[in-house]
Structure 1
């Protein structure tokens, strides 16, 4: 009997220690300036988009309070490499130029010193590009508003909406970059084809065979960083919501995340053909970091969590403490709603999405094994802390990792 009580006591002590580890002090929201031999890499869903074509240019030419805040956050964290999600794609680079010159290179309220990125990468995305097909099965092709967006290759009201922009202090090898904008969903082995509850395919074969897997695009962008080339694997999978009983967006989100798992796994992967016709995955000895708003929390919220869990546990992905913040803990308690039912640690959340959805971990910076991890965090200060006034330019928070240069 005494031994049994001792075991119970030890288990209780271990559980208490686990709770302390999850809920204890988080890193400072504004990370200290990193040493010269440290590489800071970040991902940030900036919400720098417009429902109108050319609308982001107007926002960047004006005096947009949210743009001030986004730029201020970047000036505070000062990543060496950063992926911006939801930055509308403008082919001539004028939006990226404006953001650099008028915002990042100018002191912002609550920000830091001007910030300059000499290298950038941007490419077309599927959002807003009309398919000419009835993708939502509502009996019409295109139309206005949401109906039009649903029949685009990726949901969007104009081509390029919700695009991506990669900024870097170090040279980008654009000629060696790979994009998977045009990759067919049906090409993926064992793809999760959307189906009605009775098992019938949601899309006719003639439509299914044309569907693109990536809702925006998937990029493999080599960056010549100190210590060697790092492949930035960038994406922004569709939210696992805004669909029906067929759960087509849940399935697509799962398979968009799974693409990266397959890409970094051994094997020839002949189906993984990029937009230039080159097939196969990432070299076994390549270093990488997976960046983006992956729209899937490993524990809470909508979606099939199997794909994100498999990616997090992949043997080529660094096992590391989950980036956290003090502000996320405070916000989950203050926001209430669905947060009260969430099972994951609130300190890991990377965005605030209202009482019905709650706060979730959706944004990821996942380095490969091979470099030492120096630190990580989520830029989400408590409401009474410095810089708290600049975080609400978007509903997401910046996530960063510091890696040792070799």
Structure 2
């Protein structure tokens, strides 16, 4: 009976979307959402309402300790007819000051000295909205995982010593935002684990290629996780999704990291070679991904481009799944 009911179940629609809603200071995003007339917020809401995913991972949304900005966005979606009663946003590395010179510029307390780039704590962070409850007691938050502890780490070395010094290497976390493994309890498919992150851009650094190396390793982390070398691998079906800031063929990043996931035997790629971002300097690239585990059946998939003069440069990426 269980197999029959699952065969008849509606597909689970999963999405990821870099909203680019981040503001220049704390509290400003909440202010703009509450005003109800911000064109960028309206564009993001229109995109989400158009696709109506069951679960959506958001990037580029500012974090605050009480979740007010995220709740305001979710409440606005509810008022528009799409309810997300379950909301998650853990404390990120974005803007989390280290009190060290992590970027090697000889200064401390700048945005590049935070564990993840940010002018204030939580700038441009991540969040999840879901129609189904999270299994929070099974959350694995890898945000404090140290970069140097990643197997085969590419932490930059200069003349045989760690870039920015031993203290920086000893404190530098891998995640520029967060790495989360979070199960969601769905009525049709049981517990479904989301593996999600938002990697740093592989540019804006020096000859040491600190950002390029970190971007590579933030994506390579997931291969180590699903192969059992870091943390506890998902017990059942899972979905790896987020903004890798990395195209397998184009751009300045080390594309082999994402290629190793796109070709991994445990994963499948619903949207091969489909651009998900259009930056003026680079043109269309693929940097946003949804990679379901092999035990899913892909029903449909696509990208949806937000509208408006201040719309996100990223598309909302979605996939419909059954088992």
For Structure 1 versus Structure 2, the TM-score category normalised by the shorter chain is over 0.9
Distance in 1 (CA, whole Å) between partners of 2:257 and 2:307 is: 35
Equivalent residue in structure 1 for 2:185, among 218, 224, 244: 224
Equivalent residue in structure 1 for 2:18, among 34, 38, 45: 45
Write out aligned runs for 1:73-222 (5 A): 73-101=47-75, 103-107=76-80, 114-142=81-109, 148-196=110-158, 200-222=161-183
- In structure 2, stretches of 5+ residues that fail to align are 1-7
Distance in 1 (CA, whole Å) between partners of 2:28 and 2:50 is: 27
Whether the 8 Å contact between 1:296 and 1:361 is mirrored in structure 2 is yes
Match for residue 9 of structure 1? none
- In structure 1, stretches of 5+ residues that fail to align are 1-34, 108-113, 143-147, 273-279, 323-344, 381-387
Equivalent residue in structure 2 for 1:396, among 294, 314, 318: 314
Q: Secondary structure at the match of 2:59?
A: strand
Q: Secondary structure at the match of 1:44?
A: strand
Q: Deviations over 1:244-263 (max 9, x none)?
A: 00000000000100111110
Distance in 2 (CA, whole Å) between partners of 1:391 and 1:84 is: 20
Q: CA RMSD in A?
A: 1.7
Whether the 8 Å contact between 1:119 and 1:167 is mirrored in structure 2 is yes
Q: Secondary structure at the match of 1:132?
A: coil
Write out aligned runs for 1:267-306 (5 A): 267=228, 269=229, 272=230, 280-283=231-234, 285-306=235-256
Whether the 8 Å contact between 1:194 and 1:203 is mirrored in structure 2 is no
CA shift for structure 1 position 89: 0.8
Equivalent residue in structure 1 for 2:300, among 370, 375, 381: 375
Q: Deviations over 1:36-89 (max 9, x none)?
A: 511100000011211101111111122201101100110000000100011111
Structure with bigger helix share is: 1
- Answering whether residue 319 of structure 2 is matched by residue 352 of structure 1, we say no
TM-score by length of 2: 0.93
| Regions of 4+ moved over 4 Å | none
Distance in 2 (CA, whole Å) between partners of 1:391 and 1:177 is: 38
Distance in 2 (CA, whole Å) between partners of 1:209 and 1:248 is: 15
CA shift for structure 1 position 106: 3.5
Distance in 2 (CA, whole Å) between partners of 1:301 and 1:161 is: 25
Q: Secondary structure at the match of 2:152?
A: coil
Match for residue 266 of structure 2? 316
CA shift for structure 1 position 134: 0.6
Q: Deviations over 1:369-403 (max 9, x none)?
A: 112110101113xxxxxxx7458521111000000
Whether the 8 Å contact between 1:135 and 1:203 is mirrored in structure 2 is yes
Q: Deviations over 1:272-318 (max 9, x none)?
A: 3xxxxxxx3314x4211111111001110121001100011111102
Whether the 8 Å contact between 1:242 and 1:249 is mirrored in structure 2 is yes
Whether the 8 Å contact between 2:93 and 2:178 is mirrored in structure 1 is yes
C-alpha change, 1:321 and 1:360, in structure 2 (3 Å) is closer
C-alpha change, 1:391 and 1:227, in structure 2 (3 Å) is farther
TM-score by length of 1: 0.74
Larger radius of gyration: 1
Q: How many pairs does the alignment contain?
A: 314
